Structure 1
Amino acid sequence: MPQPFLHELVSCVHAPAVALSDRDGQIRPGGVQGVLLNDRRALSTLLVDVNGVEPTPVGHALHDAGTARFVGVARDLGDPGADSTVRVERERRAVPDGIEEDLTLVNAARTAVECTVRVRAGSDLAAMDDVRRGGRPGLAPLTAAGSGTCAWAGEDVRVTLLAADGDSADSGPGAGAGERTPVTYETDAEGHAVFAWRVRLPARTRWSTTLRLTVERVASAAGSADTVTATSAFLPAADGPGWSEVEVSGPAELVRLVDRSVEDLAALALADPMAPDDVFLAAGSPWFFTLFGRDSLWAARLTLPLGTDLARGTLHTLARRQGTRFDPDTAEAPGKILHEVRQDTLAVGGPGGLPPLYFGTIDATALWISLLHDAWRWGMPAAEVAELLDPLEAALGWLTGEADADGDGFLEYIDESGHGLANQGWKDSNDSIQFPDGTIADPSIALSEAQAYAHEAAIGGAALLEAFGRPGADRLRDWAEAMRERFRTTFWVSDRRGSFPAIALDGAKRPVGTATSNLGHLLGTGLLNPEESARVAARMAESDLDSGYGLRTMSADAAGFNPLGYHSGSVWPHDTAIGMLGLSRAGHHRVAASLAFGLLRTAPDFAYRLPELFAGTDAHAGDAVLAYPASCRPQAWSAAASVVMLTAALGLEPDVPGGTLRVAPAADFAEWWPLRVSGLRVAGHPLTVAVDATGRVEVQTSAPVKVETRNV
């Protein structure tokens, strides 16, 4: 069966739990709706009715990342006439081990109402992998039941739902008191648990009850639930990512996007069970409440202006699982940073599936090195950096050795297991690397951005080794320069719109000459000289790539272009943000601002919760913003795109080891001025930056750095 759609669902998130429902608050069987936790669907049905009739929905709102309020009306109750006088309100809160939900009946009528309120609940205990593939298992049997409780149990999980007695309270001046209503319990013919309350509600009063769903891990036949290993379930992060409260004063849409994004990022925070003080960001909801090398690294890197604690936790969590041996089945190699952690094997369409600890990624190791380097420049304490120097040297060893499998001087990948990922860059779908005529490139694949990441990592790694008194810096710089020259003579191609680096070299070392968003990942890495960067920036600004809503993953000119293709024409907010950041670092602020304005234009269409990806429709032609229906939301690196908008607009360039912080906003972002951002951090100290309507800059910080500002 096809993967279920997500775009119409309301999502309440508090990692590792998520509740997904229709917009009326009802959790209906089928699709992905339910409460999901630890790679299992704990609750698959939660339906409310009044006198056997579901409330008519009138609205819903997401209060924060984990809390939603749903309002409906009971049209058959209350005063006669067109006005609805009996409301049914639900407030759902995701918590790390399940959900809490308040169910309230509000009688605004002039007379009392009597009714029966029912809640019907069921669980299929489906594995996340089955849910994602569209499976529809039957209900799990109830293992315990009573007047206010029921439970379901699987091999490694126990799910308990508690329903409280109901209480009435005054709803207005002079209203009479209601009555306490005990909850009753029964099961229906399909095996659902059914809680019911017989409610008598006087005029102008309200009645309420509370539901609490708890999910507990239990010991399985395979061993103790308390045994901690590299693939153990990750923990809720007790204090989130450790950021200050971010406050933005500026365009209303930018303010709302940043507010929602920072809430979502905090809701995705998880902790390493091997060291619970180390926090990282899960990749996204609902499928990826786990550690992803690439995703977690990019999310931490893009949010460095909020502080370095998240970077430290991400770096340590990955370093504990760094490769130590050669294993073709898992793609592990000494020094390599992993791709993904799961508790069980993950099916990917072929036999075998991905092992729980999987290393099939060409870029995570370089990104780990660059995160460490960038965190150091943002002020990560020297003692914390020093703790990671041994993993750094191991990562650099893999990068400049085993990453080049055939010795041609480029990083390439090929799946040697027969059941791993065919593509091991961020565009990891089977059809993501295409020639302009739509032909799929054959492996092995040498991605353009993998070379850029490697070059940047070698230069950054050299700076770290040199600063901390370790050998090897000159060798790394020579390696990076040789990479730069090879890339210049091998990757460049052209089409009718201009010249640019190919997305990849195929197995025959032919450039795959399709223009793609990967171009943005090359900028600011040092791989390109200024003239080459200008050509890339110009190519990115062409309308086949810049949709007006963000950067398309593939040129609209390509034969394989599809605006709803996963990596063949859609827009990924994080991808656009990386391009935006690279453009800013390379000095191409006009193109960076165009991408930022276009991406912000889409935010209201997604209630300011940017999805994993959306359709690459044409804003220039007046096309509407369209959802990619199976897109995850919230997604960590998509939410982090809002922080990149601030970084680019303010022109933030830290060098704490060098004792400076440069703040140089570009006039191309002037439509966002005046702009003030507080809650940023540099070297562990608060940072506030303001740009007035004329481009004058004001910076407030107690950090031990010299602030260099440039007024526009």
Structure 2
Amino acid sequence: MSGTGARVQLVRDATFAHLTADGSITGTRGTSPDGLFARDARHLSRWQLTVDGDSPFVLSPAAPSGEGAAECVLTPEGTRDAPPAYAVFRRQAVAAGEFTDALRIVGSGAEPLTAEVTLTVGADFADLFELRADDRAYAKPGAEYRTTPTATGVEFGYRREDWYARTAVTADPAPDEVEVQQADGSCRLTWRLHVPPHGQAELRLRTEAQPYGPPLTAAPGTSGAEGPTGTDPLSLACAKGLDDLRLLTIPATGVDGETVGVPAAGIPWFLTLFGRDSLLTSYFMLPYRPELAAGTLSALAAVQGERYDAYSGEQPGRIVHETRLGELAHFRQVPYGRYYGAVDATPLFLVLLHAHWARTADDTLARRLEAHARAAVAWMTGDGGLDEHGYLVYSPDPDGLVNQNWKDSAGAVCFKDGRQAEGPIAVCEAQGYAYDALRRTARVAEEVWQDPSLARELDARADDLRARFVRDFWLADDDFPALALDGKGQQVDALASDAGHLLWSGILDEDRARRVGRRLVEPDFFSGWAIRTLAAGQLPYHPLSYHRGSAWPHDNGVIALGLARYGLADELRKVAAGLTEAAAHHGYRLPEVLGGYERAASARPVPYPHSCSPQAWAAATPWALRTALESVGG
């Protein structure tokens, strides 16, 4: 649960609700839509309470009350001489496919009263992609909506061809009146509740969301060591991150049909399995929650590419970028049902598979996923581009993502003059991931699969890639790696944080790696809170852009692990201190993105206006910092 301005967010078991401070849903769209959501569909678009004809005044706005729950206190307007006759104590919560709203109307005086309580309820079943502020419209031929009063409430239904979803609202006690509003299909439920002197009346409502597909279930629980108990900023950020990851863990189907828990990317737009996000989150948490890595690997293996599909980007062996279960994905009006537009998810899959084996000393998963890992290697060398281009490459997708690395917004992979690179594009960090994947998979091949021939081949490929990388990517004048190579082999020369990922992967020699690490904490890169995605002073730099000057905690987490790898302890401590202090200003929850403004400009980190929170790899970042700091002695 999290408050954002006047809104409150509840999340649990792949279900989330976005509410106003009084617990209402108004049907908003754009950057911050409200509603009850499950599997990319909005199952409640109206939930508005009145008592005696008026909306109650917020005496105490919604605040956390346990996992996935919030409480608020409402009253009618009153004065000093005529205080309100009652107060409404409200507790709302979400669970798997469920939203509950418990109201207690507590009388404040010596006279009995009757309160007329009305709740206006609606369900538009809008797909999340419809609600975004991008001015897109999607045809829905033959769509049918229905609103059906029941003995204890109301049921909403939506059908389009084979797609069907349902929302059922039940109340205890049953409403005295149920009135369907013909114009928009919403429904007014009315109760007349009798409150004795200094007594109370209770009303309990339960909403069951039944999205298309199998019933929603809770994610498997996580185990492992308890969270840190210290009161220092890093320990508090780790504890908050662990809480958020519990809320963001969703059920997914594993490679053998089993149910596994995986970290969803974030709220509100990305409560689903993502390749890159789930892999890096699981890597950060591997020393502390190895079951997340096991679940993520199994779930991604289950949806690994098997055929060629130009619309979704599917290719044999390729690891998925994201999965979607909504209506628009089902009818292929958006390509994201299973969308494979990521150049880096496949090597990161191999990195995590090796890391899980190395960390747990259990080779069961590495054996179980051997065929999937071999297919991933084959994708890297084939369709991924290593054989044809010498590097992992991607071309902009006209139906999906222009950029297919972690900086996937349009214009993020740019020259110093601001021009977007044209494909096929080889971003620098993906080459580091490929190098690391080849090295790690060679060890798995040699020691687990007992295939020394494959191990020698992969090691030779890694050696060749490392030798060519510096020759092709190094910017001599800047003494720094290029962000990418474009389709003509030109160096895309913007100075970007992606270079820090090269330290984590180990593709750079020690001398260059240490120079890069020190460069990243100079003032044009390091804001005082975090390392920016793009160094300030360059033409395309913008501190509130998504990827061209903002600062991402997870990006800094990867860099922190790289700084530790090369023994850059002072630089690491500088980055860790900035991030943990930034976390303290956000209730110890790191947001997805921070504004790139220098620390001297504001007493608090400037927020990025469209940041997801909670967000999985940001929640896991304090744990990556902890791992990095422990490796250099704290």
- Global fold match (TM > 0.5): yes
SS at match of 2:287: helix
Distance in structure 2 (CA, Å) of the matches to 1:606 and 1:82: 39
Quick one: which of 471, 495, 508 aligns to 1:489?
Answer: 471
Kept in 1, the 8 Å contact 2:230–2:236? The answer is no
Gap runs ≥5 in structure 2 = none
Structure 1 stretches of at least 4 aligned residues deviating more than 6 Å after TM superposition: 82-85, 134-140
Cα distance change of structure 1 residues 551 and 323 upon mapping to structure 2, 3 Å threshold = same
SS at match of 1:452: helix
What do residues 178-203 of structure 1 show as CA deviations (whole Å, max 9, x unaligned)?
A: xxxx6443345754322223234344
Quick one: which of 157, 171, 186 aligns to 2:179?
Answer: 186
Counterpart residue number, 2:357:
376
Cα distance change of structure 1 residues 107 and 608 upon mapping to structure 2, 3 Å threshold = farther
Counterpart residue number, 2:23:
25
Quote the offset at 1:161 in angstroms. Answer: 0.7
SS at match of 1:626: coil
What do residues 14-47 of structure 1 show as CA deviations (whole Å, max 9, x unaligned)?
A: 1321100122322112221100111211101111
Counterpart residue number, 1:102:
102
Distance in structure 1 (CA, Å) of the matches to 2:547 and 2:342: 17
1:682-693 correspondence runs (5 A): none
Distance in structure 1 (CA, Å) of the matches to 2:486 and 2:388: 15
Partner letter of residue 39 of structure 1?
Answer: D
Quote the offset at 1:384 in angstroms. Answer: 2.6
Cα distance change of structure 1 residues 67 and 360 upon mapping to structure 2, 3 Å threshold = same
Partner letter of residue 427 of structure 1?
Answer: K
Cα distance change of structure 1 residues 33 and 217 upon mapping to structure 2, 3 Å threshold = closer
Counterpart residue number, 1:178:
none
Residue 53 in structure 1 maps to residue 54 in structure 2: yes
Quote the offset at 1:313 in angstroms. Answer: 1.6
Give the CA RMSD over aligned residues: 2.8
Tell me the TM-score normalized by structure 1: 0.80
Distance in structure 2 (CA, Å) of the matches to 1:635 and 1:585: 26
Counterpart residue number, 1:126:
126
Identity of aligned residues (%): 32
Aligned residues: 613
What do residues 466-516 of structure 1 show as CA deviations (whole Å, max 9, x unaligned)?
A: 111123112211211111111111112266xx5211111111211112121
Distance in structure 1 (CA, Å) of the matches to 2:67 and 2:280: 21
Quote the offset at 1:426 in angstroms. Answer: 0.8
Kept in 2, the 8 Å contact 1:20–1:27? The answer is yes
What do residues 51-71 of structure 1 show as CA deviations (whole Å, max 9, x unaligned)?
A: 222222233312344111222
Quick one: which of 191, 195, 199 aligns to 1:201?
Answer: 195
What do residues 550-605 of structure 1 show as CA deviations (whole Å, max 9, x unaligned)?
A: 22111121211111111111122211211122212221122222222222223344
Kept in 1, the 8 Å contact 2:101–2:206? The answer is yes
Partner letter of residue 271 of structure 1?
Answer: P
Distance in structure 1 (CA, Å) of the matches to 2:172 and 2:326: 36
What do residues 643-674 of structure 1 show as CA deviations (whole Å, max 9, x unaligned)?
A: 213222333xxxxxxxxxxxx523xxxxxxxx
Distance in structure 1 (CA, Å) of the matches to 2:475 and 2:502: 15
Residue 159 in structure 1 maps to residue 152 in structure 2: no
Distance in structure 2 (CA, Å) of the matches to 1:247 and 1:273: 27
1:34-183 correspondence runs (5 A): 34-57=35-58, 58-76=60-78, 80-81=80-81, 86-109=86-109, 112-133=112-133, 142-155=146-159, 156-165=164-173, 183=176
1:408-427 correspondence runs (5 A): 408-415=389-396, 418-427=398-407
Kept in 2, the 8 Å contact 1:550–1:573? The answer is yes
Quick one: which of 273, 276, 281 aligns to 1:291?
Answer: 273
Tell me the TM-score normalized by structure 2: 0.90
Counterpart residue number, 1:305:
287
Distance in structure 2 (CA, Å) of the matches to 1:251 and 1:622: 25
Partner letter of residue 458 of structure 1?
Answer: L
Kept in 2, the 8 Å contact 1:6–1:631? The answer is no
Counterpart residue number, 1:619:
599
Partner letter of residue 464 of structure 2?
Answer: A
Gap runs ≥5 in structure 1 = 167-181, 219-224, 227-232, 652-663, 667-712
Distance in structure 1 (CA, Å) of the matches to 2:145 and 2:400: 35
Counterpart residue number, 2:451:
470
What do residues 208-256 of structure 1 show as CA deviations (whole Å, max 9, x unaligned)?
A: 21111101246xxxxxx45xxxxxx9x544423x223623232354444
SS at match of 1:523: helix
Distance in structure 1 (CA, Å) of the matches to 2:85 and 2:549: 49
Counterpart residue number, 1:480:
462
Distance in structure 1 (CA, Å) of the matches to 2:374 and 2:181: 62
Distance in structure 2 (CA, Å) of the matches to 1:427 and 1:206: 54
Please state which structure has a larger fraction of its residues in helix: 2
Partner letter of residue 207 of structure 1?
Answer: A
1:266-665 correspondence runs (5 A): 266-273=246-253, 275-343=257-325, 353-379=334-360, 381-404=362-385, 407-415=388-396, 418-468=398-448, 469-471=450-452, 472-493=454-475, 499-622=479-602, 624-651=604-631, 665=633
When structure 1 is superposed on structure 2, of 598-607 and 501-510 the one drifting more is 598-607
When structure 1 is superposed on structure 2, of 468-477 and 267-276 the one drifting more is 267-276
Partner letter of residue 637 of structure 1?
Answer: W
Partner letter of residue 360 of structure 1?
Answer: G
Partner letter of residue 441 of structure 1?
Answer: A
Distance in structure 2 (CA, Å) of the matches to 1:649 and 1:108: 55
Distance in structure 1 (CA, Å) of the matches to 2:134 and 2:112: 45
SS at match of 1:305: coil
Partner letter of residue 162 of structure 1?
Answer: T
Partner letter of residue 608 of structure 1?
Answer: Y
Quick one: which of 7, 14, 17 aligns to 1:16?
Answer: 14
Quote the offset at 1:128 in angstroms. Answer: 1.8
What do residues 431-453 of structure 1 show as CA deviations (whole Å, max 9, x unaligned)?
A: 10111121221111111100100
Partner letter of residue 185 of structure 1?
Answer: V
Cα distance change of structure 1 residues 148 and 624 upon mapping to structure 2, 3 Å threshold = same
Cα distance change of structure 1 residues 594 and 346 upon mapping to structure 2, 3 Å threshold = farther
Kept in 2, the 8 Å contact 1:164–1:183? The answer is no
Distance in structure 1 (CA, Å) of the matches to 2:505 and 2:40: 37
Distance in structure 2 (CA, Å) of the matches to 1:593 and 1:91: 42
Cα distance change of structure 1 residues 117 and 556 upon mapping to structure 2, 3 Å threshold = same
Counterpart residue number, 1:215:
209
Cα distance change of structure 1 residues 64 and 594 upon mapping to structure 2, 3 Å threshold = farther
When structure 1 is superposed on structure 2, of 378-387 and 6-15 the one drifting more is 6-15
Distance in structure 2 (CA, Å) of the matches to 1:273 and 1:60: 35
Cα distance change of structure 1 residues 581 and 205 upon mapping to structure 2, 3 Å threshold = farther
Quote the offset at 1:549 in angstroms. Answer: 2.0
Quote the offset at 1:133 in angstroms. Answer: 4.1
Kept in 1, the 8 Å contact 2:219–2:260? The answer is no
Cα distance change of structure 1 residues 404 and 152 upon mapping to structure 2, 3 Å threshold = same
Kept in 2, the 8 Å contact 1:65–1:260? The answer is no
Kept in 1, the 8 Å contact 2:41–2:326? The answer is no
Cα distance change of structure 1 residues 318 and 7 upon mapping to structure 2, 3 Å threshold = farther
Kept in 2, the 8 Å contact 1:88–1:104? The answer is yes
Partner letter of residue 239 of structure 1?
Answer: P
What do residues 508-549 of structure 1 show as CA deviations (whole Å, max 9, x unaligned)?
A: 211112121212211131201221111111111012221122
Partner letter of residue 131 of structure 1?
Answer: L
SS at match of 1:283: coil
Counterpart residue number, 1:710:
none
SS at match of 1:143: strand
